[in-house]
Amino acid sequence: IHRYLPSSYLAEMDIQSVCGFSVTKPIPSRLTSAAALKLEGSVENGATVLNHSMTLVQRLETLLAQGNGSDVILRIVTLSTDEVKVIQAHSLVLSLQSDVFTELLHTANSSNLVVRESADSAAVFDKFIRYLYCGDISVHLGQAIPLHRLASKYHVWSLQQGVTRYMTQHLSSDSPTGHVVTWYQYAMKIGDMTLRNSCLQYLSWNLSSVIQSSEWRSVSEELLMSLMQRSDLVLQNELELYEALEAWISHNQPADAVAENALQAVRYSMISPQHLFRLQKQSPLMLKYRESVRDLLFLTFQFHAASPIQLAKYFTLNSSLFMPRNYLSPAWGSPWVINNPTRDDRSFSFQTQLGPSGHDATKRVTWNALFSPRWLPLSMRATYSDHGSLQPTRTDGGLPRVIITPANSSPDFAGVSFQKTVIVLARQQGKVVVRHVYSFHQSTEETGNFLLDADLQRRASEYLIDSSLYLHVIVKPIYHSLVTTRK
Ligand SMILES: *[C@@H]1O[C@H](CO)[C@@H](O)[C@H](O)[C@H]1NC(C)=O
Ligand SMILES: *[C@@H]1O[C@H](CO)[C@@H](O)[C@H](O)[C@H]1NC(C)=O
Ligand SMILES: *[C@@H]1O[C@H](CO)[C@@H](O)[C@H](O)[C@H]1NC(C)=O
Ligand SMILES: *[C@@H]1O[C@H](CO)[C@@H](O)[C@H](O)[C@H]1NC(C)=O
Ligand SMILES: *[C@@H]1O[C@H](CO)[C@@H](O)[C@H](O)[C@H]1NC(C)=O
């Protein structure tokens, strides 16, 4: 009655020897090494490889399309509808690619195999089966999740890994309604932390666009809180985040506790008193939850009223309330486009506010920034002088470096240290996206890896956009607690 190959036979079978089935073998690295071996062999004994792998793949595709010699009928039942899709398949191919199919075929008692799938998985089931026969597949943004789900369910690991890679490489792709929030939520559900973190970082570094897209409303409570707690969000200013939160809450109508938690994660100190007055009087959200942010607003107005050093005598200023995020608005920093960055050193001056506090916001600090394309670390220069040679300050072995220093010193700087952040933009899938965020005190040398993999010498480097390096420099005042000197 069993018309299928017993699984023991399959297990012992030399996969390579079954009429060149290596084409559909799931592990690409082994495929390449096998090909390399063959190539070497041909050089050694003067043989020539006749390569008809493509024809074989085409034949397998025809075999699937016409169903000749089929020994199993796959019936794909769409959950919650009575729709059934039928595929004439071959147990040999299914078993070769998936131990789940091997098991299903083993336990089924007729040549009918019924599988139940959600509507989106059922829609790509043909594609999925075709991949099992041909080893290639075309993927659209909207098909990534159902294909990943099928690959996981049927243990087709090569496809699963391929789709994960596809997703991490297509976070910035254009889609009418956005897709990264959905991918984040899927990654959370299946517990793929690498994919989740890639999505979360992309959303954090591109928050202004996400906030403006229709995708923003579909953000889950969990994702909203994960974002609200991050200091590395790249956005115009904190007010933009407050307004986005307002839109999210009014659309999603969450429980009071959720709204209160989210509201308490807003960094009110980074919003000017003028804007805060308006929110207090005119924002329906603020009026509704006035009680839950009362203490934060009180602390914020105290912050705005005095210099950081006066404040630090009485308060600990290490709460995230006083920690700036990566704000792109001009008060916080400046874009810096460096044309032909490998040519020579470049300098640049820009101004920022002394601090976000109402006490300081009108005071300006001028900053000098210096970019060196090939800076040699001190440790390496030391070895040169040991040998008595001239000290080269720049050689081909050096790495890019940015130093940012204030143009002059001021007593106003007391109680504040200025953290510098350089945002590096790069091209991905034809889009300009934030690629790195480096934070340091004075020099990118402190980070140890500034533009380490950028390869600015290479014309095609993804970090060169029209042969320029696109940076955005941000200066963040960090307030010291004077806890140690407090009596
Ligand atoms: C045979 O051809 C295919 C594509 O035409 C290629 O991918 C494969 O590496 C070739 N194999 C050998 C052994 O040359
Ligand atoms: C598949 O079967 C059809 C008839 O059912 C036949 O015409 C066709 O030649 C067969 N194809 C192959 C590749 O054997
Ligand atoms: C095997 O087939 C019989 C009769 O067609 C059916 O009642 C039974 O549920 C089947 N068993 C399995 C494991 O599918
Ligand atoms: C802030 O400083 C206080 C006192 O030094 C300390 O107890 C507290 O844990 C710190 N909080 C954070 C978030 O670092
Ligand atoms: C953010 O995403 C949008 C839409 O995909 C894109 O147009 C924009 O270039 C991205 N910006 C950054 C800074 O990543």
Mean pLDDT of 257-264: 96
Per-position DSSP letters for 366-384, written without gaps between them: EEEEEEEEEEPPHHHHHHH
The CB density around residue 44, as the number of other CB atoms within 10 Å, is 8
Residue nearest to atom 9 of ligand 2 (CA): 68
Q: What is the pLDDT of residue 37?
A: 54
Task: Name the 3-class secondary structure at 337.
Answer: strand
Query: How many Cα neighbours within 13 Å face the side chain of 208?
Result: 13
388 pLDDT exceeds 80? no
Q: Is the pLDDT of residue 453 over 90?
A: no
CATH number of 7-169: 3.30.710.10
Least distant ligand from the CA of 426: 5
Asked if residue 233 lies in contact with residue 204, where contact means CB atoms within 8 angstroms, the answer is: yes
- Ligand 5 lined by 204 (C-beta under 6 Å): no
Rounded to the nearest whole angstrom, what is the distance from the C-alpha of residue 1 to the centroid of ligand 3?
A: 13
- Our answer on whether the CB atom of 380 is closer than 6 Å to any ligand 1 atom is no
The percent of residues in the chain predicted with pLDDT above 90, rounded, is 67
Cα–Cα distance measured from residue 407 to residue 365, given in angstroms and rounded to the nearest whole number: 8
Distance 127 CA to ligand 1 centre (A): 23
Q: Tell me which DSSP letter residue 231 carries.
A: S
Contact 394, 406 (CB under 8 A): no
CATH classification number, 326-381+393-485, choose in 2.60.210, 2.10.25, 3.30.70, 2.120.10: 2.60.210
Residue 6 has pLDDT above 70, yes or no: no
- Taking the centre of ligand 3 as the mean of its atom positions, its distance from the CA of residue 476, in whole angstroms, is 69
Q: Positive or negative, the Cα torsion across 271, 273, 276, 278?
A: negative
Predicted local distance difference test score (pLDDT) of residue 5:
41
Q: 112-117 and 464-465 as β-strands: parallel, antiparallel, unpaired?
A: unpaired
**Residue of 23, 39, 51 best suited for mutating to test ligand 1, as the one with most atoms within 8 Å of CB:** 51
Rounded to the nearest angstrom, the distance between the alpha carbon of 68 and the centre of ligand 2 is 6
Q: Where in the chain is the domain with CATH 1.25.40.420?
A: 180-305
Residue 262 has pLDDT above 60, yes or no: yes
Q: What is the pLDDT of residue 361?
A: 84
Strand 346-353: give its sheet, edge to edge.
Answer: 346-353, 364-375, 399-406
Query: Lowest-pLDDT range, 158-167, 398-407, 448-457, 465-474?
Result: 448-457
CATH 2.60.210 region(s) of the chain? 326-381+393-485
Residue 58 in contact with ligand 1 by CB distance below 6 A: no
**CA-wise closest residue to 192 among 230, 228, 227, 151:** 151
Which pLDDT tens digit goes with each residue over 7-55? Answer: 444 333 333 333 333 433 344 444 455 555 555 555 567 889 999 999 9
90-104 pLDDT, tens per residue?
999 999 999 999 999
How many angstroms does the Cα of residue 343 sit away from the middle of ligand 5?
29
Q: Measured from the CA of 67, which atom of ligand 2 is nearest? A: 1
Token output for 479: 């307030």
Query: What atom of ligand 5 comes closest to residue 213's alpha carbon?
Result: 4
Pocket test for ligand 2, best of 19, 66, 70, 133 (most atoms within 8 A of CB): 66
Distance CA 207, CA 203 (A): 5
Provide the strand spans (E) within 251-359: 326-327, 333-339, 346-353
* Residue 379 CB neighbour total at 10 angstroms: 7
- How far, in whole angstroms, is CA 309 from its chain's centroid? 38
pTM: 0.80
Task: Tell me if 172 CB under 6 Å of ligand 5.
Answer: yes
57 alpha carbon, closest ligand: 1
Q: At what angle do helices 157-169 and 144-153 cross, to 10 degrees?
A: 160
Q: Which atom of ligand 3 is the closest one to the Cα of 107?
A: 13
The response to whether residue 483 sits with its C-beta less than 6 Å from ligand 4 reads: yes
DSSP one-letter string for 413-476: GTTEEEEEEEEEEEEETTEEEEEEEEEESSBGGGGS-TTTT--TTSTT-TTEETTEEEEEEEEE
Tell me the best of 68, 88, 133 to mutate to test the pocket of ligand 2, counting ligand atoms within 8 Å of each CB and taking the most.
68
Distance CA 345, CA 327 (A): 27
Q: Rounded to the nearest whole angstrom, what is the distance from the C-alpha of residue 317 to the centroid of ligand 4?
A: 9
pLDDT of residue 350 exceeding 90, the answer is yes
Q: Which of 87, 75, 101, 88 is nearest to 10 (CA)?
A: 101
**Nearest to 485, CA basis, from 314, 272, 262:** 314
Rounded distance from Cα 60 to ligand 2 centre (Å) = 12
The per-residue pLDDT for 387 is 52
The reply to whether ligand 4 has any atom less than 6 angstroms from the CB of 318 is yes
pLDDT of residue 426: 92
Looking at ligand 2, which residue's alpha carbon is closest to its atom 11?
68
Give the tokens for residue 38. 């063959």
> Domain 180-305: which topology?
1.25.40
Q: Identify the three-state secondary structure at position 281.
A: helix
The alpha helices in 98-213, defined as continuous H runs, are: 99-107, 119-123, 125-134, 144-153, 157-169, 180-190, 193-205, 207-212
Q: Whose CA is nearest to atom 5 of ligand 5?
A: 172
Q: How far is the CA of 430 from the centre of ligand 3 (A)?
A: 54
Do the beta carbons of residue 396 and residue 373 sit within 8 Å? no
| Complete DSSP assignment for 56-102 | HHHHHHHHHHH-TT--EEEEEEETTS--EEEEEE-HHHHHHH-HHHH
Alpha-carbon distance of 432 to 434, in angstroms, equals: 7
Q: What is the pLDDT of residue 23?
A: 38
Q: Identify the pLDDT of residue 411.
A: 85
Q: What share of the chain is helix, strand, coil (3-state, %, to 5)?
A: 50, 20, 30
Best substitution site from 267, 299, 316, 483 to test ligand 4's pocket, by max atoms within 8 Å of Cβ? 316
Sign of the CA dihedral running 347, 353, 355, 359: positive
- Pocket perturbation via mutation, ligand 1, pick of 30, 32, 53, 134 by most ligand atoms within 8 A of CB: 53
Ligand 1 contacts CB of residue 52 (under 6 A): no
pLDDT average, residue stretch 375-389: 58
User: In the chain, what is the straight-line distance between the N-terminal and C-terminal CA atoms, in Å?
Assistant: 90
Alpha carbon nearest to ligand 1 atom 10, residue: 51
Comma-separated ranges of CATH 3.30.710.10 domains in the chain: 7-169
